[in-house]
Amino acid sequence: MTLRQYAAIWLASIRYTLVRTMMFRGDFLVWSLVELMWTSVNVMMILVIYQHTTSIAGWSEYQMLLLVGTAMLIQRLLMGFFWSSIFEMGRNVRTGDFDFVLAQPGNPLFMASTRKIDPDGLVNSVVTLGIVAYAAHHLGLHPGGVELALYGCLILSGLAVHYSILILTMSLAFWLRNAQGIEGSYFTLAEFGRLPREAFRGVTRILFVWLLPVVVVSNVPARTLLAGLRPGWVAWAAAMAVLWLSLAVFTFNRGLRRYASASS
């Protein structure tokens, strides 16, 4: 299949999801409010903490708000575009319903991870982007077109890493007889992305900064807005995106060989 055909399939999936969402507007509204409340809790937590201190690991209140907004933006984009589909993938592997994905003409990983979108997650990604803009305004930042474009590319790089970690997590369903609840490991890792890189020392620094890139992919875009381009960190973030995406594809394809369909 060509890239144009894949794009057409994805757009058709998005159109189907939006039509279905409009059929259940109440459900969409409730989940949008839940997402908004979760975002608000994270922001209020920062405001409360900074009533008792002026700096955490060298980060001021609005710098921390910029970092947390960036981390939440990446996660909300993941939830909006991929979460529902990848979560269903793990369940379908356990039940044998993954046959439906394999019967489709496209790449199994693409077909499995792009079947649905979550409009409520996408709506709240706009809210988190507003948080980033609000923090940047209070910090007196005025990024130009190049800086904004670089920030957007780094957000996409972070999205690729989060997508890869989620794929790796859910691919465990190919090996585990009972894999219910394994998605919780992704959310545990994602929580560290809201912390400054400077807060990690010793073993935790090696683990969460250098080995698991959840801290880097949120810190690098935020630092780029705060201090401008740092080629070394940008290159590291891009390399991590490529490395983890390759690892996710490899693991998924290996797991696919172990899949026992409902008809077998």
Q: What is the pLDDT of residues 74-127, one digit of tens each?
A: 999 998 999 888 888 878 887 778 888 888 888 899 988 988 888 888 888 999
Which phi-psi region, left, alpha or beta, contains residue 107 (left: φ > 0; alpha: ψ -120 to 50)?
A: beta
pLDDT of residue 153: 92
Residue 146 tokens read as 């190049």
Given a cut of 90, is residue 67 above it in pLDDT? yes
Its domain, for residue 139, covers: 3-258
Query: Whose CA is closest to 113, among 36, 22, 104?
Result: 104
Q: Model confidence over 200-212: pLDDT tens digits? A: 888 888 887 777 8
Residue 242 lies in a domain: yes
- Strand, coil or helix: what is 59? strand
Question: What type of residue sits at position 206?
Answer: I
Q: How far apart are CA 9 and CA 19, in angstroms?
A: 15
Is 96 domain-assigned?
Answer: yes
Residues pairing with 56 in the sheet: 59
Please report whether residue 231 resides in a domain: yes
Q: What is the dihedral of CA 29, 30, 33, 34, to 10 degrees?
A: -150
Which two three-digit tokens encode residue 263?
């008809």
Confidence band, pLDDT 50/70/90 cuts, at residue 227 = confident
For residue 264, being part of any structural domain is answered with no
User: Model pTM?
Assistant: 0.89
Query: Is 195 a member of any domain?
Result: yes
What is the average pLDDT value for the chain, to the nearest integer?
85
Residue 26 covered by a domain: yes
Number of domains forming the structure of the chain: 1
Residue with structure tokens 């809790």? 41
Q: State how far the Cα of 243 lies from the Cα of 257, in Å rounded to an integer.
A: 22
Report whether 128 contacts 72 (CB < 8 A).
yes
